[in-house]
Chain A
Amino acid sequence: MPPANGGFMVAAYVAAAVIYLAYTGWLYWRSRGR
């Protein structure tokens, strides 16, 4: 019976998504041109 650690999985997936999306967004925003 595997341990119930789905919450950790969700936390990691969400955290990674937030970090990548935040950086991508920031990069686009900085470089959007005048």
Chain B
Amino acid sequence: MTAIPSAERALKRGGILTAVGLLLVAGVYVRALAFTPEEATQGLAQKIFYIHAPSAWVALYLAYGIVGIFSVLYLFLKDPRLDLLAASSAEVGTVFTTVVLVTGPIWGKTIWGAWWTWDARLTSTLFLYFIYLSYLVLRSAVDEPGRRARYSAVLGILGALLVPFIHMTVYLFRTLHPMPVVLQPGRPRVPGPMLVTILYAFFAFTVFYFGLLWRRYAWARLRAARAEREADGADASR
């Protein structure tokens, strides 16, 4: 029965990676607040960008991408660990999305004068948030693990295909979001120190996400393995 020790080892390693990630993110805070110049026209609030944008990258693309991919893999391969990974990514992704939806309006208030305008990107994020939440609610509403995995996978795939439609729908309506300045062909319009900060921030938050994902996944495997051991034990003692 190697599942439990293996999961316990993963739990430790996930914990270490998370701690590393957390340190890196603390580094982002220090660097963004103390060692990055203030933007000329937007003021200090522009620095919210260094937290908001990397969180959005993780939430919308990385975390949900993993939910989508592993949902498809689960439906084909039926390995329950694939479902556990997708579910872990959904939970962690929801946390990152929450940060996006909290920091976004705060920043928006300083730029647009309003907490919420139906800006393309934030609205897309809001709808992805609904998908994440409905995924988590669905899981909590189904007790049987096999059915829960199947249903989650179906929702995961549908949600993944919905994301581009949300983007396109919202984009067709008015866009107020500041245009992306980092990833442009040729010269990025972000001055040197700011570019370093934002690239470092993307790296830091990505590591942090993987740490949390690993730990969460390991814990899910541990619980499943323990439940199975109990069930086996109950069978054996009959």
Contacts and interface: CB of A to CB of B under 8 A. Distances in A.
A12 B215 contact: no
Given A11-B106, A12-B106, A13-B51, 10 more contacts: A2-B38, A2-B42, A5-B43, A8-B44, A8-B110, A9-B47, A12-B102, A23-B92, A24-B212, A27-B219
Nearest to B11: A31
Interface string B14-35: 0100100010010001000100
Contacts of B222: 31, 33
Q: What 8 pairs between A and B have smallest CB-CB spacing? A: A2-B43, A31-B219, A5-B45, A6-B44, A12-B106, A12-B48, A12-B103, A5-B110
Interface string B43-61: 1110110011001000000
A14 to B, nearest CB: 10
Nearest to A2: B43
B43 A19 contact: no
Interface in A1-33: 2-6, 8-9, 11-13, 15-17, 19-20, 23-24, 27-28, 30-31, 33
A19 to B, nearest CB: 5
Given A2-B43, A19-B98, A20-B99, A33 B110 contact: no
A33 B18 CA distance: 17
Count chain B CB atoms within 10 A of each CB in A17, A19, A27 and give the residue with the most.
A27
B2 interface: no
22 contacts: A2-B41, A4-B43, A5-B44, A8-B45, A8-B107, A8-B109, A9-B44, A9-B45, A9-B47, A12-B103, A12-B107, A13-B51, A15-B99, A19-B102, A24-B18, A24-B22, A24-B212, A27-B216, A28-B215, A31-B218, A31-B219, A33-B8
B15 A16 contact: no
A28 to B, nearest CB: 7
Given A2-B38, A2-B43, A4-B43, A12 B52 contact: yes
